[in-house]
């Protein structure tokens, strides 16, 4: 089996290298012609990030803080959000920056709460110029065992909340003729997989939203400088996907990525005005080969080999271990209280 995986890795690399070399040659030609990313002064930008209490949202906030932007941080995890705020303020203070960081407790699945808090942000900081709907949710259950409330929350967080946010902040961006909307989707929003069906569906919705919104802005405001970006990362080492990271195979071909790397790529997407970014970049070529060159049965076999036929089992195991740990800590606390 190891020899088979080694042979597959060799074939994939053999196919990918010409694409990589062609892209590198094209990129160097653009640099030689003097093409550079758009100079961005983030000091006069107000960035709103949802799901900023931990994981990718925190790294995005830290990346924008290093760039000097003012931040509006939205999350329902108040403790985590305050920790993100303190880390961002420390960065800004070290730079002697006058930018500000405010935290807000918002359930982004509630449209009324989103609209109300949008007004508070405008009053506290000013008009948002960079919107990053990053908040995400996955139940870790299959469609037939997932509760209706979990399904509603999955679509509420992943699909509907970006729509509420766009309705709240896009009108100002269009009037001011400046702004960036950065939708954080997933590779699973471009290429479907088995297992978390509702999560995959919700991320397909966010990719479709980005493409449709981009076309609509171009149709109704042909000369608008408002940009729509969609970031589609592979599995990251975050609290949401920690149960999967130790069960994914072929990481030498498609490595699990860090949220800090994704956050950096978000700023690059804004500066280079990239519409749709798949991370890591090699996945774009691998997906092209899987969709248009390999037979369907081989593509599915490779997907099953990478993630297993029952990838959600990892979530159940992690949840059971987490539950056991919580019960153990509770028992120790009760025992200590009885002793005291």
Give whole-number Cα distances, 154 to 151, 189, 200, 206, in Å: 5, 14, 10, 12
Residue 278 · residue 176 · CB < 8 Å? no
Label the pairing between strands 130-132 and 226-233: unpaired
- Tell me the residue ranges of DSSP E strands in 133-267: 179-184, 226-233
Helix, strand, coil shares of the chain, percent, nearest 5, are 60, 10, 30
Structure tokens at 32: 């030689």
From 42, 199, 234, 285, the catalytic residue? 199
Q: Is residue 199 annotated as a catalytic residue, yes or no?
A: yes
How far is Cα 330 from Cα 340, in angstroms, rounded to an integer?
15
276: enclosing H helix or E strand: strand 276-279
Cβ count within 10 A of residue 54? 19
279: enclosing H helix or E strand: strand 276-279
How far is Cα 5 from Cα 17, in angstroms, rounded to an integer?
18
How far is Cα 250 from Cα 260, in angstroms, rounded to an integer?
22
- Contacts of residue 151, Cβ cutoff 8 Å, sequence gap at least 6: 139, 198
Residues with active-site annotation: 199
């Amino acid at each position: 089996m190891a020899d088979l995986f080694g042979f597959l890795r060799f074939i994939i690399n053999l196919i990918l290298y010409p694409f990589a070399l062609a892209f590198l040659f094209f990129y160097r030609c653009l640099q030689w012609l003097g093409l550079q990313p758009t100079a961005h002064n983030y000091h006069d930008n107000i960035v709103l990030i949802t799901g900023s209490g931990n994981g990718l949202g925190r790294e995005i906030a830290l990346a924008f803080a290093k760039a000097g932007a003012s931040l509006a941080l939205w999350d329902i995890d108040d403790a985590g959000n305050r920790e993100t705020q303190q880390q961002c303020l420390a960065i800004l203070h070290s730079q002697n920056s006058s930018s500000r960081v405010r935290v807000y407790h918002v359930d982004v699945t509630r449209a009324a709460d989103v609209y109300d808090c949008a007004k508070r942000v405008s009053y506290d900081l000013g008009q948002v110029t960079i919107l990053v709907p990053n908040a995400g949710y996955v139940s870790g259950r299959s469609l037939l065992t997932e509760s209706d409330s979990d399904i509603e929350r999955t679509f509420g967080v992943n699909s509907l909340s970006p729509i509420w946010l766009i309705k709240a902040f896009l009108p100002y961006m269009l009037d001011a003729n400046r702004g960036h909307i950065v939708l954080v989707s997933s590779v699973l929003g471009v290429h479907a997989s088995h297992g978390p069906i509702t999560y995959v569906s919700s991320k397909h919705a966010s990719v479709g939203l980005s493409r449709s919104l981009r076309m609509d802005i171009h149709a109704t405001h042909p000369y608008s400088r408002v940009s729509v970006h969609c970031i589609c990362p592979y599995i990251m080492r975050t609290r949401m996907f920690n149960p999967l990271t130790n069960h994914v195979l072929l990481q030498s071909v498609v490595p699990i990525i860090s949220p800090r790397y994704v956050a950096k790529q978000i700023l690059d997407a804004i500066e280079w005005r990239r519409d749709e970014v798949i991370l890591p970049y090699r996945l774009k070529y691998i997906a092209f080969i899987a969709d248009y060159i390999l037979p369907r049965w081989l593509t599915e076999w490779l997907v099953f080999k990478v993630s297993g036929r029952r990838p959600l089992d990892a979530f159940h195991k992690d949840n059971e271990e987490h539950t056991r740990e919580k019960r153990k800590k509770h028992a120790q606390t009760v025992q200590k209280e009885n002793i005291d």
